[in-house]
Amino acid sequence: MRMTSLIFSAIVLATPATAEDLRGPDEFKDIEDQSERSQALFNEMAKVITHPRCMNCHPVENLPMQGDDMRPHNPPVVRWNEAGFGPPGLHCTSCHGAENAEFVGGEGSIPGHTPWHLPPVSMGWIGLSVAEICAQLKDPERNGNRTLAELADHNANDGLVGWGWKPGKGRTPAPGTQKMFGELTKSWIETGAACPE
């Protein structure tokens, strides 16, 4: 029985969250302690943040990942500099157009959005704990010099963030909706922006 539980847990952890797996802020209102509620809200946000749609583009190294299995980008490319648009002669937009492009006669698609780029290394998440990602998001020196209000707006309205819910054929969308993610971010901030321990 214990082995079955371990196998089931491993499968659950390896399976990206689906749209139905994200709860809205109202589902946390019964947590009376504000700090506990704030931490619970961030843990819910983390279902999006730690999903492959987000993590693949937030490497701590210079190589992006791809796919639900978060494998190294093929063909091999690098961030190149803080702008994150790729090296001269092979910018991200060499392959990634303004919108998703389905493969002709095959499964899958090439992601697309304008602009298409990696964030700076300071915004890398792969390999960090949820608590470490939370601390990073609150730190203007590591979050793109954003205030918490600007972070909430970024999560709720940025088009490249929004691509995570419209990733094209062959990819699992991020859980929930961008609107819900923005609402969770706003509620997390309103309850003190506490990080999980």
- pTM value is 0.86
Strand pairing class (65-66; 71-72): antiparallel
Note whether 40 and 28 are within 8 A (CB).
yes
Collect all residues with Cβ–Cβ distance below 8 Å to 104 and sequence separation of at least 6: none
**pLDDT tens series, the chain, 197 aa:** 333 333 333 434 445 555 568 999 999 999 999 999 999 999 999 999 999 999 999 999 888 999 999 999 998 888 877 777 888 888 898 999 999 999 998 789 999 999 999 998 899 999 999 999 999 999 999 999 999 999 999 999 999 999 999 999 999 999 999 999 999 999 999 999 999 99
Read off φ and ψ for residue 102, nearest 5 degrees: -70, 145
- Is-contact 152 186, C-beta < 8 A? yes
Non-local CB neighbours of 80 within 8 Å, separated by 6+ positions: 62, 86, 87, 88
Tell me which residue of 3, 13, 17 sits closest to 51, measured CA to CA: 17
With b for 16 or more beta-carbon neighbours within 10 A and e for fewer, the 116-148 pattern comes to bbbbebebbbbebebeebbebbbeeebbeebeb
